[in-house]
Amino acid sequence: MKNTFKAIVGLLAVCAASSVFAAAPAKENKSGEDIYIGASGGVIFPMKADGLKYKTGGSGSLFVGTKYEDFRFELEGTYKDSQVKEINGESCDFDYRHLAGLINAYYDLSIQENLDWYFGLGCGWSNVKLKNNVGDGEDKADVFAYQFMTGVTYHCTTNIALFGGYKLFHTTKANSTKMPWIHGVEVGLRYTF
């Protein structure tokens, strides 16, 4: 956890330090559309639900999208991994993970020349898996997933942007088990063609 926090602070410091250099003005695209790809990683904090208490975990995402003026639309593939540490107060050893595909929509609000504040929402599908590491038990389900996002983007160049943000992720019940709300903090890189 401490190493992840240090990595996030380090990335944000590099981003802030790079603002000393004159960044190129935003790329002018006659059609108003830009295609981009990117990746992000972060820390997740699943909340207690249905008597299950979770450990802090990790997440990673890959995405491809298009930007039109102040709006962005993207397809995201994400993986979230944690462990269940207690069931109704009793210690346990379960892996908990999501493998999800989401469609996201964002609005970018310019704060200053190379800095945007973004917020958005997304929905899609998630494959949820709970696996008992002590016995052979495993529970899987395909469920509806949705998320809300906010954060800041720093445009280092006309093509490269760094971002840091917050995500709130949730799904419908999996085989009658109520799934936790998952708070997440992430940092990432976006490349625009």
Partners of 166 in the β-ladder: 150, 185
Q: Residue 96 pLDDT > 60, yes or no?
A: yes
* Global model pTM greater than 0.75: yes
Q: Is the pLDDT of residue 20 over 80?
A: no
97 occurs within a structural domain: yes
Contact (Cβ atoms closer than 8 angstroms) between residue 54 and residue 96 = yes
Residue 28 lies in a domain: no
* Structural domain containing residue 54: 2-21+33-192
Strand 160-171 and strand 182-192: pairing?
antiparallel
Helices within the chain (DSSP H only): 2-18
Instruction: Classify residue 26: in a domain, yes or no.
Output: no
The one-letter amino acid at 30: K
Rounded to whole angstroms, the maximal C-alpha distance in the chain is 61
Task: Specify the number of domains making up the chain.
Answer: 1
- At a CB cut-off of 8 Å and minimum separation 6, what does 10 contact? none
pLDDT grade for 22, boundaries at 50, 70 and 90: very low
* Average pLDDT of every residue of the chain: 87
- Examine the pLDDT at 153 and tell me if it is beyond 50: yes
CATH number at residue 143: 2.40.160.20
Q: Which residue has the tokens 């004159």?
A: 22
pLDDT tens, 48-85?
998 899 999 999 999 999 999 999 999 999 999 999 98
Q: How many residues does the chain have?
A: 193
